[in-house]
Amino acid sequence: MPLRWRNDAGGRLAGPIGRLLLAFAASLLLIWSGAGIAQAADGKDGPKPAENGTVYVIPVKMTVERGLASFLDRALTEAEEARAALVVLKIDTPGGSLQSADEIGNRIRSTAVPTLAFVDGKAASAGAYLALNAGSLAMAPGSTIGAAMVVNGSGEAVDNPKTVSFWTSEMQAAAQLNGRDPAIAAGMVDPGLVVELKELGRTKQKGQIISLTADDALKVGYADVVAKSVDEAIRWTGMSQWTTVDIKPSLAEKLSHAITSGGMTTLLLILGIAGILIELLVPGFGAPGIIGIVSFGLYFFGQYIAGFAGAESIVLFALGILFLILEMFVPSFGILGVLGVAGVATGIAIAAYDTGDALRALGIAGLIALAIVAVFAYAFRRKGIWNRFILKDQLTTEQGYIPQESRESWIGREGVSLSALRPAGVADIGGQRVDVVTSGEFVERDRPLRVTAADGTRIVVREIRAAETE
């Protein structure tokens, strides 16, 4: 049965009037729904800040490395647990590792707290990627964003098409999160593209990289607002009252950030390997061993604070060192040595964020450390552990030893055998009882003898025949 409107008395509404009222109500509903849809389309994705609450301000001032990823994860977790109304990422960074940037970007997107990136310096390279992943983007006057070209450790452009294509797509996806033009994001990465910037009245040509000032970013829709301060940017979000919580990296996190950078990691591994090997091969110095232990300790400390190293990596490393020490003293046909090297390498590798990078750093560090050890061992070769396997002590008169008297003067002397010589025995030579030996012939007791050779430890005699005495 079709539904119909009724009046309060229970009577039926006239057909034409009912249809008119229903049409009017439907029109109002469509208008309201359309406005809501338009508002949702124009607005930003993700949670919106409340009018009042707590605002967590997190500095992104470091190079984008593994230590920063750990710090931001800790700070965002605190904001989530405190049910903060807004998180402000205060960005001023030249960029850094793409892998770390990707991890941080995922963490920013996944947080349940509304996020606002406030660029108060430069958001270059990986820094631009982090800013684009935030729910809103504010820029201070004089700040810049862009210049996200992929470079290697020497600052030279990477021309690997796969790497450039991947990072370009990542930047485009981050831009599209909040309705920004993905072509501009691509132009920040790939110098081979031609990008028309209509709002700015210019075109990015091949060989150029897009970098936007605050005003330019506002014109092309990359910045939502230009604000002079964090507070002004917060007000722009619609908040009227708030309590600011400034999150600072702890001393341990600062140290971890410095340690986990690529160059410092390699240096610590060089010092660790060289120090331990020098102490094992040239014992007694102390300093190389201490430096090696401290270097390895700092390496694992940095990786642990950054959230990468676990107890298993430290245990494997310690077992590896133990096996290497035992190899020096226990014959194992190299088995302990192989186990030791495997334990040390595995412990170092799984303690790092990227196992491949860690193994490459370990390989470079190992080669340099071996060269240092070779030079050091040659310079102090008289004190090396190899002296434990080579007898170099001499029984000299200066050390209190009495050398045996030379017996070359005994050659030609005569005596008599005191026992049968078979071929060795005892004889009386010049009134002295000595051990003698013949050249192989048998000599009976009480036979006359003559010394034919004497080399210090052996006196050779032969029997004097009757014909020789005539």
Together in a domain, 88 and 109: yes
What letter would DSSP give residue 405? P
CATH for 442: 2.40.50.140
| Span 305-348, pLDDT tens digits | 666 677 788 888 888 888 877 877 777 777 888 888 888 888 88
| Span 239-286, pLDDT tens digits | 989 999 999 887 777 777 677 766 788 888 888 888 877 777 766 557
Rounded average pLDDT over 23-27: 43
Place of tokens 């190079």: 63
Together in a domain, 123 and 201: yes
Residue-level pLDDT at 200: 93
Together in a domain, 135 and 219: yes
Residue-level pLDDT at 14: 40
Together in a domain, 256 and 219: no
Would you place residue 399 in the very low, low, confident or very high pLDDT band (cuts 50, 70, 90)?
Answer: low
Would you say residue 136 has pLDDT above 50?
yes
Would you place residue 398 in the very low, low, confident or very high pLDDT band (cuts 50, 70, 90)?
Answer: low
Work out the mean pLDDT of the chain and round it to a whole number. 79
| Span 318-328, pLDDT tens digits | 888 888 778 77
Together in a domain, 312 and 345: yes
Residue 389, domain member (yes or no)? no
Q: What percent of the chain has pLDDT over 70?
A: 78
Would you say residue 21 has pLDDT above 50?
no
Residue-level pLDDT at 262: 61
Residue-level pLDDT at 396: 55
Together in a domain, 276 and 187: no
Would you place residue 145 in the very low, low, confident or very high pLDDT band (cuts 50, 70, 90)?
Answer: very high
Together in a domain, 267 and 345: yes
User: How are the residues of the chain apportioned to helix, strand and coil, as percentages rounded to the nearest 5?
Assistant: 50, 20, 30
Residue 385, domain member (yes or no)? no
| Span 154-196, pLDDT tens digits | 667 777 888 889 999 999 999 999 899 999 999 999 999 999 9
pTM of full prediction above 0.75: no
Together in a domain, 96 and 233: yes
Residue 40, domain member (yes or no)? no
> By residue range, what is the domain housing residue 413?
408-463
Of 344, 363, 380, the residue that ends a domain is: 380
Together in a domain, 348 and 375: yes
Amino acid at 175: A
Would you say residue 123 has pLDDT above 60?
yes
Together in a domain, 95 and 226: yes
Residue-level pLDDT at 283: 61
Give the dihedral of Cα atoms 324, 327, 330, 334; nearest 10 deg: 140
Together in a domain, 215 and 302: no
What letter would DSSP give residue 82? T
CA-CA distance, 148 to 97, in Å (whole number)? Answer: 11
Residue 402, domain member (yes or no)? no
Q: What is the count of structural domains for the chain?
A: 3
Residue 39, domain member (yes or no)? no
Rounded average pLDDT over 394-416: 69
Residue-level pLDDT at 400: 57
C-alpha 2, offset from chain centre: 72
Place of tokens 């992943």: 133
CA-CA distance, 231 to 208, in Å (whole number)? Answer: 35
CA-CA distance, 434 to 219, in Å (whole number)? Answer: 114
Of 218, 248, 278, the residue that ends a domain is: 248
Decide if 349 contacts 361 (C-beta within 8 A). no
Residue 44, domain member (yes or no)? no
Of 200, 220, 248, the residue that ends a domain is: 248
Together in a domain, 173 and 218: yes
Rounded average pLDDT over 386-403: 51
CATH for 58: 3.90.226.10
Residue 28, domain member (yes or no)? no
Q: Which of 75-89, 130-144, 294-308 has the lowest mean pLDDT?
A: 294-308
Residue 64, domain member (yes or no)? yes
The β-bridge relationship of strands 225-226 and 424-429 is unpaired
Amino acid at 205: Q
Would you say residue 226 has pLDDT above 90?
yes
Q: How many C-beta atoms lie closer than 10 Å to residue 292's C-beta?
A: 23
Would you say residue 402 has pLDDT above 80?
no
Residue-level pLDDT at 27: 44
DSSP 277-343: HHHHHSTT--HHHHHHHHHHHHHHHHHHHTT---HHHHHHHHHHHHHHHHHHHS--TTHHHHHHHHH
Would you place residue 388 in the very low, low, confident or very high pLDDT band (cuts 50, 70, 90)?
Answer: very low
Rounded average pLDDT over 61-70: 79
Would you say residue 55 has pLDDT above 90?
yes
Would you say residue 354 has pLDDT above 80?
no
Q: Of 343, 282, 335, 273, which Cα lies nearest the Cα of 313?
A: 343
Would you place residue 416 in the very low, low, confident or very high pLDDT band (cuts 50, 70, 90)?
Answer: very high
| Span 26-49, pLDDT tens digits | 444 333 333 333 333 334 445 567
Rounded average pLDDT over 376-404: 56
Residue-level pLDDT at 284: 58
Q: Tell me whether residue 356 is exposed, middle or buried, using C-beta atoms within 10 angstroms of its C-beta: 0 to 12, 13 to 18, 19 or more.
A: exposed
Residue-level pLDDT at 210: 93
Would you say residue 23 has pLDDT above 80?
no
Residue-level pLDDT at 268: 86
Would you say residue 3 has pLDDT above 80?
no
